[in-house]
Structure 1
Amino acid sequence: MSNYKTNLILKSGYFLYSISEFTSRPTIDADYLLRNYSNDINTIEKLINEVLLVKTKNDFIELQIRNLEVISEFKEYSGVRVNLIGIIGRTRTPFSIDFGVGDIIVHSPVERTLPVLLPDFEQPKIFTYSLESTIAEKIDAIISLMEMTGRMKDFYDIFYIATTFDFEGRKLQEALYETLSNRGRAYEKDSITDILRLTEDTEVQKRWDNFCNKILNYKLDFIDVVNIIIDFISPPYESILKEDEFFEKWDSKKRKYDK
Structure 2
Amino acid sequence: MRVKFYAYLGHSRERVQIDIGFGDRITGGPIEIDFPTLLDFPAPRLKVYSIENAVAEKFEAIVSLQLETSRMKDFYDILYFAENYEFNKALLKEAILPTFDQRDTDIEKRKNIYENKFKSDEQLQKFWTAFLNRNKLSTENSFANIVDKLKSFIEPILL
Q: Which residue of 2 aligns with 1:108?
A: 29
Amino acid at match of 1:180: F
Q: Which residue of 2 aligns with 1:180?
A: 100
Distance across 1 between alignment mates of 2:73 and 2:153: 17
Q: Which residue of 1 aligns with 2:112?
A: 194
Q: Which residue of 2 aligns with 1:214?
A: 134
Distance across 1 between alignment mates of 2:16 and 2:45: 21
3-state SS in 2 of match to 1:219: coil
Identity level (%) = 37
Amino acid at match of 1:194: N
- Contiguous gaps of at least 5 residues in structure 2: none
Q: How many residues align?
A: 156
TM-score by length of structure 2 reads: 0.86
Aligned-residue CA RMSD (Å): 2.0
Tell whether 2:2 aligns with 1:85.
no
Q: 1:131–1:82: structure 2 CA closer, same or farther, 3 Å change rule?
A: closer
- Contiguous gaps of at least 5 residues in structure 1: 1-78, 240-259
Q: 1:89–1:155: structure 2 CA closer, same or farther, 3 Å change rule?
A: same
Answer 1 or 2: which has greater helix percent. Answer: 2
Distance across 1 between alignment mates of 2:33 and 2:73: 23
CA contact (8 A) 2:25 2:99 kept: yes
Return the index of the structure with the highest Cα Rg: 1
| Higher RCO, 1 vs 2 (CA within 8 Å, ≥6 residues apart) | 2
Cα deviation, residue 200, structure 1 = 0.3
Q: Which residue of 2 aligns with 1:246?
A: none
Amino acid at match of 1:123: A
TM-score by length of structure 1 reads: 0.55
